[in-house]
A and B are shown apart, each in its own frame.
Chain A
């Protein structure tokens, strides 16, 4: 135990702190309460110094992050199965393989910070406060869905989570707009605008790079580089695959997106940078998607099965994190097993409801087109039947 603690810490002050925690926990229950980990170096663009490659977490934080990654993985596995059973329809984009990006970021986001992403958002929606049931029932289009089944896989929202956008790239200006409002109201919040390597080639991304820097908006442009935009590899889509440098005049960081703690430190650095008034940052998180682009894409015509296998075996974000925290003595393998069982039970229960529950009633079809519903009657397919236009929740929208 002792030697392990020592081995894991290298910087002086953290070393002292960790050794102390180790000692304390040894007396208590034989497990460390805190440990420090070293991550791969970051790549920097127009920055003199970057995030710390050392990350210190408590055992509670480790447990929380572990649970979140497992939860996302399980939700996605369940979603995949529900799709195969034809209970989830249309598009269904899974986040499996990319969990570390969301979990690492969320672990240091403050209550005033927010995020927006594209259509691969089941995991983000969960992290931003929606239950597994809220996500899964949205996927099956049922009542308990976080958007009452009206949005489906690509369109989920939560407090401080602005979606859920199906139009590649469109979320990036929106994220800059959320940051604009943060700056305007001086609420101190930072907005994370996430987009893929494919989306990075949309013109509107470059338009808002410019405005965000011009006006020093507190926005972090997070490019989740999973190697492919649908069937197109980054080499085939992007003249420069160094996404962290593509903001040119905006400083950038490359981070290993398979390492929760590296993402955590990069995000922490980003928040400090933005809140000190220096303006936007670009953060490229190198990651990988295990499944096809969406459930209808087998995902093997443009990459090899071996490539997928290799990433799963050598870079899996959950396996590596699990090993790290067990080896550091932060948690026991038994505890993690217990968490796995709990997560499975929660997701299984959610699946059950998401499968069996009813959809919202037809009377809600024409609800929520406007929040001030001046058109009380909404035309059906013919002029002989009209639907009532109401607001479903009866509550004021969270931003109005």
Chain B
């Protein structure tokens, strides 16, 4: 349709621009297919999650949502808005502040045939319940020799928030992806949220679903396909958000956006980044990463969590252990959160999380060292 209206050249021009839609969100366009999304429905991440929950509650009677303030208050972050009115208090269960207790109840209900969605008001509070997540949910199928499964989704906001200091601002991706038996998803945009949350709820295994707290109010386009009630993304598959030949940037959650912003900037300087949205942290889609590395010969991982034993550490190690190692022109570099608890003061907080500039600096450094892109001065 776009071709008919504009002709190909105009599309290319527009496609390379940055659009500001709804007055607040910026995103990048690089291909005809995503150009279509100019006409696609716009949605906040919050609404994308809400609609996925709504549809799954409707689809399957066994699905229920349990957690603090999920029902009457519509969710502390309003993700479950309107669902109590629609499905009643049997399906939307407000709990006391008793994370270990209600997480355990949710796992027990899963063992007995239900499909619980257990919301942690934020993942920070899941530490109260981490034993039930790992020892009860993640290991039961294995310990029972395949006799008893734990089909449950643990979800809630994750990652660095704004102005809430050390105890309320941290990423659990590395923590949970460490554990066999768990599937760990980290969506970036609305389509991820819809497709992955639905996949998680329908999956027979325990899934940790990490929503980024700062993404809830961000708007993204959603295609007609992604709006379908049966839109389910495959767990364990990454998605290439932007194609490029000089360096691969692999990131999850909000940091995908940081990479896209950096890539946009670098594109203007003749460097084409391939941006991989990991989507799934366990299983980790090494196939997509390795294929990309075969093309770009350079890899940078980007995450909001701490460096030690992080997602980037794992990816680097797996690259070292694979054939891909021999294809690298430069060492894999991790861009991560600074290795400190999150400070409250704004000036300090600002430099703790990865910025496009950090990525740009690293890209230039590794490419410059190899002299691969001649147009760049260092």
Does B288 interact with chain A (Cβ within 8 Å)?
Answer: no
Once the chains bind, are B348 and A359 in contact (CB under 8 Å)?
Answer: yes
Once the chains bind, are B73 and A302 in contact (CB under 8 Å)?
Answer: yes
B88-124 vs A: 1/0 string, CB under 8 Å?
Answer: 0000001011111100000000000000000000001
Chain A residue at minimum C-beta to C-beta distance from B348: A365
Q: A169-B97, A236-B94, A382-B333 are in contact. Are A359 and B358 (CB under 8 A)?
A: no
CB distance from B4 to the nearest CB of A (A): 45
CA distance A383 to B94 in the complex (A): 45
Residues in chain A near residue B166, CB distance under 8 A: 150-151, 155
Once the chains bind, are B128 and A167 in contact (CB under 8 Å)?
Answer: yes
Does B338 interact with chain A (Cβ within 8 Å)?
Answer: yes
CA distance A165 to B128 in the complex (A): 14
Once the chains bind, are A166 and B348 in contact (CB under 8 Å)?
Answer: no
Does A90 interact with chain B (Cβ within 8 Å)?
Answer: yes
Does A142 interact with chain B (Cβ within 8 Å)?
Answer: yes
Does A70 interact with chain B (Cβ within 8 Å)?
Answer: no
A238 in complex: contacting residue of B69, B96, B168, CB < 8 Å: B96
CA distance A89 to B164 in the complex (A): 7
Does A333 interact with chain B (Cβ within 8 Å)?
Answer: no
Does A1 interact with chain B (Cβ within 8 Å)?
Answer: no
CA distance A114 to B14 in the complex (A): 65
Q: A89-B162, A155-B167 are in contact. Are A381 and B354 (CB under 8 A)?
A: yes
Does A229 interact with chain B (Cβ within 8 Å)?
Answer: yes
B348 in complex: contacting residue of A89, A360, A382, CB < 8 Å: A360
CA distance A234 to B125 in the complex (A): 21
B141-171 vs A: 1/0 string, CB under 8 Å?
Answer: 0000000000000000000011111111000
B97 in complex: contacting residue of A198, A362, A387, CB < 8 Å: A198
Residues in chain B near residue A153, CB distance under 8 A: 165, 344
Residues in chain B near residue A203, CB distance under 8 A: 98, 100-101, 128
Does A301 interact with chain B (Cβ within 8 Å)?
Answer: yes
Does A181 interact with chain B (Cβ within 8 Å)?
Answer: no
CA distance A103 to B101 in the complex (A): 34
Q: A166-B167, A231-B69, A383-B333 are in contact. Are A364 and B358 (CB under 8 A)?
A: no
Once the chains bind, are A167 and B124 in contact (CB under 8 Å)?
Answer: yes
Does B86 interact with chain A (Cβ within 8 Å)?
Answer: no
Chain B residue at minimum C-beta to C-beta distance from A361: B347
Q: How many residues of A contact B (CB 8 A)?
A: 48
Once the chains bind, are B168 and A362 in contact (CB under 8 Å)?
Answer: no
B318-349 vs A: 1/0 string, CB under 8 Å?
Answer: 00000000000000011111111101111110
Within 8 A of B (CB), among A140-182: 141-142, 148-155, 165-169
Once the chains bind, are B340 and A384 in contact (CB under 8 Å)?
Answer: no
Q: A166-B167, A382-B333, A382-B361 are in contact. Are A362 and B348 (CB under 8 A)?
A: yes
CB distance from A21 to the nearest CB of B (A): 47
Residues in chain A near residue B72, CB distance under 8 A: 231-232, 236, 302
CA distance A275 to B46 in the complex (A): 53
Does A230 interact with chain B (Cβ within 8 Å)?
Answer: yes
Once the chains bind, are B165 and A155 in contact (CB under 8 Å)?
Answer: yes
A185-224 vs B: 1/0 string, CB under 8 Å?
Answer: 0000000000000110111100000000000000000000
Does B242 interact with chain A (Cβ within 8 Å)?
Answer: no
A residues bordering B, Cβ < 8 Å?
89-91, 141-142, 148-155, 165-169, 198-199, 201-204, 229-232, 236-238, 301-302, 359-360, 362, 364-366, 369, 378-384, 387
B residues bordering A, Cβ < 8 Å?
68-69, 72-73, 76, 94, 96-101, 124-125, 127-128, 161-168, 307, 333-341, 343-348, 351-355, 358, 361-362, 365
